[in-house]
A and B are shown apart, each in its own frame.
Chain A
Amino acid sequence: MTQSDNPESHNSSPLPEPVRSAMRDYNRPPRLGAAESDAMWSAIERDAFPRRFSSPSAEHRAYGGERWLSARNLLPLAAVLLVGVVIGRFALPRKSAAPVSVAVRAPATDSVGVPELYQSTASRYLGQTAALLVSLPTEARGGHADARFLGRAHDLLLTTRLLLDSPAAADPRFRTLLEDLELVLAQVIRLPSDQSPAELDLIRQALEQRDVLPRLRSAVADISADD
């Protein structure tokens, strides 16, 4: 132990209150906002879990760089998903004209299978998403919604993508549902920039054409029954 490390060799009385008070302002941190936190997470995710990203060099970590969730990136993603869904609907043979539901699509079993570890998260997520989508027509009157509603949609979109990358999406029925929800939620968070009732109609059509809400309710019931 050095002289300076000897606890007996120094007076350890606290500094006077005015000094301590001034000290608390030393590099006082600002509050970390949700958007900043999400942006940092995107950079961390790219570095620590690079599977989803095909060109890590272009998206190398740097705060202030392009965000994965930016509208510029969501648009092509939504377009790709939409094209995929449309191709799937018209190119693949359909056995039934009945609404496409989790149960109808299931080749072997009638229920969505989610690993036990994810059941609680998936169940909570599905319940919140169902609630959000049910309240969409009321919340988004006139084609735009308030910031709180959009914040919830943004969080749910993030969770959707995390679930898509997790083993929970191994079940093809659950995966398809997540992909449709990703598309719908991506449309919902674009509402403030569009400010047009037509956009809300498009979302409503997407929900109806894909039977999203019945499939969502069915998945909630399946996972709750497994819980």
Chain B
Amino acid sequence: MNREPELIARVVAGDRLAARELYDAHVDRVFRLAFRFAGDADLARELTQETFIRAFAQLGRFRGDSALSTWLHRVTISVVSNAMRKVKRFRTRETDLDAAAPMIAESPSADPDLRERLHRAIDELPEIYRITLVMHDVEGYTHEEIANVLGVAEGTCKSRLSVARAQVRQKLAPFAKEWLE
């Protein structure tokens, strides 16, 4: 029997025991998702905390139209997106200052680490494509699930995935022809 509606009602009434039950049921997946985008354990934990704090504060507005997990992952993506914009600005400045020289000196053949290039290519994707690609190709969400989490049509989700894959292919092409064939 699905106990979530009862647990949600209890959390809305201020019941911490029920909140802990919901937390235990969902924390692994939320942390996992946050880590995929943050790439850093401390930051992922902060984002997971923020997700649950925000979710518990807004739980009274959850109407049950979708599964609680979908709604929670929507909150996660929102929290992660906001945080990553700030982190990205910070990291961009760091990269500008610390890593400019090696990057300029680097030639395509000088970097044999294709895995690293792949991960960098994903990092450089615009946010909407990166989220879709990671959720679908890395975390295994279906288009329907992603569409529900992001609040877009399934067609939009499929299209974004195509664009993301095309951009990854394009960025890897000079270095990994044998991979892409």
Chain A interface residues toward B at CB < 8 A: 1, 4-7, 9-16, 18-20, 22-27, 29-30, 32, 36-37, 40-41, 43-45, 47-49, 51, 61, 63-64, 117-118, 121, 158-159, 162-163, 165-168
Contact = CB atoms under 8 A, between A and B. Distances in A.
Nearest to A39: B45
Given A49-B16, A63-B46, A19 B27 contact: no
Interface residues of B, number: 55
B15 A10 contact: no
A113 to B, nearest CB: 17
B27 A15 contact: no
Contacts of B31: 29, 32
B169 A30 contact: no
B95 interface: no
B17 A162 contact: yes
Interface stretch (B65-73, B101-109, B156-164): B156-164
B27 A40 contact: yes
A27 B36 contact: yes
A48 B52 CA distance: 8
Contacts of A51: 14
14 contacts: A1-B156, A10-B162, A11-B166, A19-B179, A26-B36, A26-B118, A27-B36, A32-B28, A40-B27, A40-B45, A49-B19, A117-B6, A118-B17, A121-B17
B180 interface: yes
Interface in B160-181: 160-163, 165-166, 168-169, 172, 176, 179-181
A29 B35 contact: yes
B62 interface: no
A122 to B, nearest CB: 10
Contacts, number: 135
A36 to B, nearest CB: 7
A23 B23 CA distance: 28
A19 B138 contact: no
Given A19-B179, A48-B52, 14 more contacts: A6-B159, A7-B155, A7-B162, A12-B165, A15-B169, A18-B179, A26-B36, A27-B36, A27-B38, A30-B35, A45-B20, A48-B53, A61-B53, A166-B17
Contacts of B41: 30
A6 B42 CA distance: 38
A11 B77 CA distance: 26
B115 to A, nearest CB: 5
B49 A63 contact: yes
Q: Is the interface of B mostly helix, strand, loop or mixed?
A: helix
Which of B16, B46, B56, B137 has most chain A Cβ within 10 Å?
B16
Given A26-B122, A48-B53, A165-B16, A9 B159 contact: yes
Interface string B5-34: 010001000111101100110011001100
Nearest to B178: A18
Nearest to B115: A22
Contacts of B159: 4-7, 9-10
A40 B158 CA distance: 35
B65 to A, nearest CB: 23
Given A22-B114, A32-B28, A32-B31, A43 B49 contact: yes
A151 B166 CA distance: 49
Nearest to A62: B46
Given A5-B156, A162-B17, A41 B23 contact: yes
